[in-house]
Structure 1
């Protein structure tokens, strides 16, 4: 078994060698994996090694409060040496701490993190978000996607190629209110980004032309026009409206999404009595003067939202009457 250095409770705010800390984690990883594979020590002893890793990685997270350490960690291939190798280990606290570390790196050094983090890390994040039973792990994975995906078409393209939009709306019923809010807000950001790029970019240079082509290849707008995605969004609207209050603010990103997808999903909603019932209810909600003040406090255009909902209702009524 590989010898490892056990933590002595050193104050990490003082002079601590980051490289030594990374190397120490690598030693513990090697010992734990060797023991796990070969059965060299009992499983509970392996868990103790993973518990020690949790402490060490927490220390590294604290070190990241110094931006210089964040850059050193990224440039010293800390992502490859510590995070990627251990995101699949059967120890929830360890995986949670790894996600906290990754999120901290995006927070402290976003440009460098985006430049050096391998794109296949998003595969692991998606897998955690889609398949993990632990809701805290799902939330941490989504927090990272929230800062990594916007204005990052290459990573968005990989997400769309691997998973599409389905895992995101399929997970809504499994998430708590705060995580649902983050997910909906992320979706709003991405849709807005794609609509603006497609509407505003005029390929007058090769750079602009390449950017427009990249966004077109992602195909997000085309996906929004499909029946499965529109039905998935409608399910989100119905589910979240049932527990929406002015305290949790879930209605804010919901109304934002409704406004953005009307052009793509209105036809798909036609003939659906549940859709008509929902939009009628929401129209009554937004026409209340107190609701208008509430929406305006979030810099939403209450008049625009009301107009959008009127268009939804009138169109759906017309089709339903014809049927």
Structure 2
């Protein structure tokens, strides 16, 4: 729970001491890297020391909820921003952990105080870092930060679009894929609601225009996105053996994109094969009672998979 009362003196002192320690070591590490007068091992030890201090800071925030103290001491500007572009794995991990903890302990405060350009680092990690755990941490932060935040969504769409998200699917484990698909569904439904809802006030109209400007719905109708999403459905079988729950967000995604992508899939041999294989795999899983202990509605999932499997066999003139 977020706390609005002023932080106690001990909170300020503990947090301030760690912030000062990180500031001091960051300055030393930066000077060492620029001047090149110390060995690379020495510089790495300095960054490892910064990572340890970040870990201590994260634990204070997580265990004692010193979130207000961190923000009141300008922790983002003083220690996060100066280290945000680091490539040192230990430090990058701690930065991601700190951001996750801030959103977990005080989501609205974090949303208010953390600048939108930090999303650039998260996108870079998710798209380019080879460490799968780092990708998962970056997604955890975006999962908290992106929904109901059209300003941030606009930045993501302008910088990267949707491609990095579905292009990373094959590199992720089933639990991360499930969260990614869930996030995709949440944001798409948010846009559909904003675009289709009634504008009862000036604010509603302004939000409608803003979501329209982002253009997610329009982008959903493009072959690039639809065929990119098709690869997700192709990969689902590989993930399903590890996580039965992945069929839930997959089925919801199929329902959400049906108005945009189904016609593009019609008559395409690749799509025909993918949806047949996906439906066959699902039926086999049901027969083996693999969904017995889950909360999934197998009837609804079977219906949407059957609908796609049957309809993609129809001929459709591709106007694109």
Q: Please indicate the TM-score interval, normalised by the length of the shorter structure.
A: 0.7 to 0.9
- Correspondence for 1:73: 70
User: Which of 147, 158, 163 pairs up with 2:160?
Assistant: 163
SS of the residue aligned with 1:151?
A: coil
RMSD between aligned residues: 2.4
1:208 offset after TM fit, Å?
1.0
Q: Distance in 2 between matches of 1:195 and 1:307?
A: 22
Counterpart residue number, 2:99:
102
> Which residue of structure 2 lines up, in the alignment, with residue 4 of structure 1?
none
For the residue of structure 2 that corresponds to 1:49, the secondary structure is: helix
Task: Describe the SS at the equivalent of 1:61.
Answer: helix
- The structure, 1 or 2, with the larger RCO (C-alpha pairs under 8 Å, 6+ apart) is 2
In structure 2, what is the Cα distance between the partners aligned to 1:279 and 1:197?
Answer: 30
Q: Which runs of 5+ in 2 are unaligned?
A: 1-9
CA distance in structure 1 between the aligned counterparts of 2:292 and 2:260, rounded to whole angstroms = 24
1:29 corresponding residue in structure 2: 26
Count residues with an aligned counterpart: 306
2 CA distance for matches of 1:78 and 1:134? 26
Worse overlay, 288-297 or 140-149: 288-297
4+ residue segments displaced more than 6 Å: none
Q: How far 1:309 sits from its partner (Å)? A: 2.8
Q: How does 1:1-323 map to 2 (within 5 A)?
A: 17-65=14-62, 69-199=66-196, 201-245=197-241, 247-286=243-282, 294=291, 297-298=294-295, 300=297, 302-319=298-315
Query: Secondary structure, in 3 states, of the residue corresponding to 1:65?
Result: helix
Task: Go from structure 1 to structure 2 and tell me whether the alpha carbon gap of 1:285 and 1:51 turns closer, same or farther (over 3 Å shift).
Answer: closer
Quick check: 1:252–1:295 contact (8 Å CA) kept in 2?
Answer: no
Query: Structure 1's 34 and 227: CA in aligned 2 closer, same or farther, altered over 3 A?
Result: same
Contact 1:67 1:109 (C-alpha < 8 Å) held by counterparts:
no
- Alignment TM-score, normalising by the size of structure 1: 0.87
SS at match of 2:62: coil
2:212 and 2:160 mapped to 1: Cα distance?
Answer: 17
Following the alignment from structure 1 to structure 2, what is the Cα–Cα distance between the partners of residues 279 and 90? 41
SS at match of 1:202: coil
Give the 3-state SS of the residue equivalent to 2:199 in structure 1. coil
Which residue number corresponds to residue 7 of structure 1? none
Offset at 1:215? Answer: 1.4
Q: Distance in 2 between matches of 1:134 and 1:73?
A: 28
The normalised TM-score by structure 2 is 0.88
- Measured in 2, the distance between the counterparts of 1:78 and 1:40 equals 29
| 5+ residue gaps, structure 1 | 1-12
In the TM superposition, what is the alpha-carbon distance from 1:306 to its structure 2 partner?
3.2
Q: Find the residue that maps to 1:249 and give its secondary structure.
A: helix
Deviation readout 1:122-153 (Å, 9 max, x if unpaired): 11111111111222222211111111111111
- Aligned partners of 2:78, 2:289: CA distance in 1, in Å? 52
Cα 1:39–1:26 change in 2 (3 A) is: same
CA distance in 1, matches of 2:65, 2:134: 28
CA distance in 1, matches of 2:45, 2:305: 56
